Structure 1
Amino acid sequence: MQRQPIGIFDSGFGGLTVFKSIIEQLPGYDYIYMGDNARAPYGNRSFSTIHQYTWECVQWLFDQGCPLVILACNTASAKALRTIQQHDLKNADPSKRVLGVIRPTAEIIGQYTQSKQIGVLGTKGTVQSGSYLLEIENFFPDVKVYQQACPLWVPLIENGEYNQPGADFFVKLYLDQIMAQSAQIDTILLACTHYPIIKQKIEANLPANVKVVSQGDIVAKSLVDYLHRHPEMETRLSRNGHNEFYTTTDDTADFDHHASLFFSAPVKSTFVSANDLVKC
């Protein structure tokens, strides 16, 4: 059978937390992970730049044989997914699919709250897009959503500084800001796939009654459901149990070290130049 893996994309390491959950839910498939670390973080970039970078990586994954790509990145899902789905795929290959992480999360996040008040923590790009406000309102119109951008969390995590004492200040800073918006918030959504790495720190700085929800299992279960509903895609996917990792940083040893922490297993990556992505 021709190799047709599932592609997993993120701007850096965070998507590996989703990838881990997907493998647990869908073992045995072939997967290719692409981390655009050389151009990360995406959170403060413009819509057009994020769309350009994301589409370049998606096309590269298509060229590797992936008929299905998961944007395991909230910023890319918020700022690039719609354009890719509605415009780019029509010109590239309408038989291929690109899915994100926002809609699957919005479909069930309202089930976690008793107070009907949710806090969403994300990058500046995700928060400014308003994607979670719109999507959650579609599914749970009675739920009030508060947002807080956490611009320093991804750099701290990507650079391995999240366990340093100085990181605690910035963890508490943004949590205090979101909780100051409403004392009735009883559910916090980690709307960035990097944030599960500091979930314990986040929980330690919140009231005991506040649930902290990460996306890995949610997205993985949604993908299982998607493949059940789309057997025409499921039957295309190859099953050799192969996992491949690629990064746009030329320091693959550094990527492998940090990626192993996110993936909870050893990672051996291959370098792909961002210049080569532009040619796709």
Structure 2
Amino acid sequence: MSRAIGVMDSGIGGLTVAKEIMHQLPNEQIVYIGDTARCPYGPRPSSEVKKYTWEMARFLYNQNIKMLVIACNTATAVALEEIQTAFDIPVIGVISPGARSAIKHTKNDRIGILGTSGTIKSKAYEVSLQDLRPSIETFPLACPKFVPLVESGEHAGSMAKKIVAETLYTLKSTKIDTLILGCTHYPLLQPIIEQYLGSSITVISSGDETAREVSAILAYRGELSARHEKEDHRFFTTGSSKIFGQVAMEWLQDNLSIEMVQLPGN
């Protein structure tokens, strides 16, 4: 039996990455966990984020996965290297793929970065971008209201438009031509963000590039699944399965099996 790909996030945002993996690798099974009971991670101390990230990583590892995707920028920034060293399966995050995608698209080397306060404070995107191209000028912006907005399921209404406009106002004068959505929750707000900023700015989410990296690694290791082995995706949440299910079904356009699970620290 083929093993699944594990995907983890602080909440429902990582579904944006899971969706891209499902699209690019339709024969693969996804096992997903969202720590909705303790979301958002962004304002939390890095030691706490690391603890919660490890709890989710161990939970997925025990599901006999063949690869782990940390689909949370805050968790990637604080725990990726440690988990990569400890596990005997490939472990990837979403920051490097997002940075590579932005480098491909920018024409004037001015890149905006939206993220949680934890991700912005870590400067992980700035480091990743400038490692790739030292001439890049970055314009980071913490967006503390975005994750609660998405987790509440209110990401498409008038309140979302108001919060996006208030938060992104300062970016209008930066002359960026590319904007990284440095949190996997933010693609659920992407239509509103694009409408507010206008068509001259390319908005990047890391899901597409992350899925390509998953595909390349599994192909290299000879671990891509054949169609006849496909099993149903499995979704776990530490909080309300109702809200998680509503957003998941809207985003993934599918009937899903969603289970509540208690992690050691819950």
Length-normalised TM-score, structure 2: 0.93
Q: CA deviation at 1:178?
A: 2.5
Q: Secondary structure at the match of 1:274?
A: coil
Cα deviation 1:129-150 (Å, max 9, x = unaligned): 0000000111121211110010
Q: Contact between 1:13 and 1:158, CA under 8 Å: does it hold in 2?
A: yes
* Equivalent residue number for residue 191 of structure 1: 182
In structure 1, C-alpha distance between the alignment counterparts of 2:224 and 2:122, rounded to whole Å: 31
Cα deviation 1:66-117 (Å, max 9, x = unaligned): 131101111111121122223xx1xxxx422321011122223211011110
* Equivalent residue number for residue 31 of structure 1: 30
Matches within 5 A, 1:92-111: 94-111=87-104
Among candidates 233, 243, 253, match of residue 233 of structure 2: 243
Q: Secondary structure at the match of 2:77?
A: helix
* Equivalent residue number for residue 245 of structure 2: 256
* Equivalent residue number for residue 66 of structure 2: 67
Q: Secondary structure at the match of 2:144?
A: coil
* Equivalent residue number for residue 212 of structure 1: 203
Amino acid at match of 2:69: I
Q: Contact between 1:14 and 1:262, CA under 8 Å: does it hold in 2?
A: no
Q: CA deviation at 1:234?
A: 4.7
Q: State the identity %.
A: 36
Among candidates 140, 156, 164, match of residue 157 of structure 2: 164
* Equivalent residue number for residue 22 of structure 1: 21
In structure 1, C-alpha distance between the alignment counterparts of 2:68 and 2:75, rounded to whole Å: 12
Q: Contact between 1:189 and 1:214, CA under 8 Å: does it hold in 2?
A: yes
Q: Contact between 2:233 and 2:257, CA under 8 Å: does it hold in 1?
A: no
Matches within 5 A, 1:110-125: 110-125=103-118
When structure 1 is superposed on structure 2, of 222-231 and 108-117 the one drifting more is 222-231
Q: Contact between 2:8 and 2:70, CA under 8 Å: does it hold in 1?
A: yes
Q: Secondary structure at the match of 1:39?
A: coil
* Equivalent residue number for residue 134 of structure 1: 127
Amino acid at match of 2:170: Q
In structure 2, C-alpha distance between the alignment counterparts of 1:8 and 1:18, rounded to whole Å: 8
Alpha carbons of structure 1 residues 95 and 83: separation in structure 2 relative to 1, 3 Å: closer
Among candidates 206, 213, 224, match of residue 222 of structure 1: 213
When structure 1 is superposed on structure 2, of 30-39 and 253-262 the one drifting more is 253-262
In structure 2, C-alpha distance between the alignment counterparts of 1:24 and 1:241, rounded to whole Å: 15
Q: Contact between 2:233 and 2:256, CA under 8 Å: does it hold in 1?
A: no
Amino acid at match of 1:110: I
In structure 2, stretches of 5+ residues that fail to align are none
In structure 1, C-alpha distance between the alignment counterparts of 2:97 and 2:196, rounded to whole Å: 27
Q: Contact between 1:71 and 1:77, CA under 8 Å: does it hold in 2?
A: yes
Q: Secondary structure at the match of 1:208?
A: coil
* Equivalent residue number for residue 76 of structure 1: 75
* Equivalent residue number for residue 48 of structure 2: 49
Q: Secondary structure at the match of 2:197?
A: coil
Q: CA deviation at 1:244?
A: 0.6
The total of aligned residue pairs comes to: 265
When structure 1 is superposed on structure 2, of 222-231 and 132-141 the one drifting more is 222-231
Q: Contact between 1:30 and 1:239, CA under 8 Å: does it hold in 2?
A: no
Q: CA deviation at 1:196?
A: 1.1
Cα deviation 1:179-216 (Å, max 9, x = unaligned): 33x2x201111111111111111011113311111222
Length-normalised TM-score, structure 1: 0.89
Q: Secondary structure at the match of 2:7?
A: strand
Q: Contact between 2:152 and 2:243, CA under 8 Å: does it hold in 1?
A: no
Amino acid at match of 2:263: A
Q: Contact between 2:13 and 2:184, CA under 8 Å: does it hold in 1?
A: yes
